[in-house]
Chains A and B, each alone.
Chain A
Amino acid sequence: MMTEAEQAIAIDGIKIYAHGVGTVNPPKLDTETEEEEG
């Protein structure tokens, strides 16, 4: 049987959160190459 102190630290798991943001940019068109070819 656990003591009161042991019960106090008998947690299910530590909570950790992650939150963030990101930016997706479309592929760059290789216009310089097209100009050279033209």
Chain B
Amino acid sequence: MPAHACRISQVVATAICNLVVNSVDAGTPPGSVIIYTGTIPNTCDMALGSAVEVATCTLNDTAYGNASFGTNTADAELTQSPIAGAHCDSATGNASPVTFFRLCNGAGTAVLQGTCSATAGDDLVLNAATISTASTVDISSLIVSVPVNQS
């Protein structure tokens, strides 16, 4: 037997998934997906440091639907991801490539962060490595998933 073989139930995985995305609607929604350039902080609670905002994409007032397993028995995933996506009419822009994003509630408090670039394999993949000033940015998909396999 492997040293780590922790599993959680589907009910618990679903509840965790919903807790994460419902946190985006806390405070005064709508929340946002904020894209940055610079060094990604080690944790979601850390200050941005020298990182700079490049684009702020606004979410729907209710950001996400309810998590579900559906036919996927490995992960609890958001069936809608997120509702109406997230949109930025006019990006701040920056000549340096984007590096990470934060999913924030209406007060600007980060709920989740991840890598962002134009490279497949990052958490949020754009069609361009850089975002110029006044560009529009559409986040069409940002799925949050919690696997039952925790090992």
Q: Whose C-beta in chain A lies nearest to the C-beta of B57?
A: A22
| Interchain CB contact (< 8 A) of B124 among A15, A19, A25 | A19
Chain B residues near A19: list those with CB within 8 A. Answer: 123-124, 141-143, 145
Across the interface, do A20 and B6 meet the contact criterion of CB distance under 8 Å?
Answer: no
**A-B residue pair count with CB separations less than 8 angstroms:** 92
How many chain A residues sit at the interface, stated as a range, is: 10 to 19
Report the minimum CB–CB distance from B41 to chain A (whole Å).
16
Chain A stretch 6-30: residues in CB contact (< 8 A) with chain B: 8-9, 11, 14-28
B contact residues vs A (CB 8 Å cutoff): 6, 8, 16-17, 20, 57, 75, 81, 86, 90-91, 103, 112, 114, 123-128, 131-147, 149-150
A contact residues vs B (CB 8 Å cutoff): 8-9, 11, 14-28
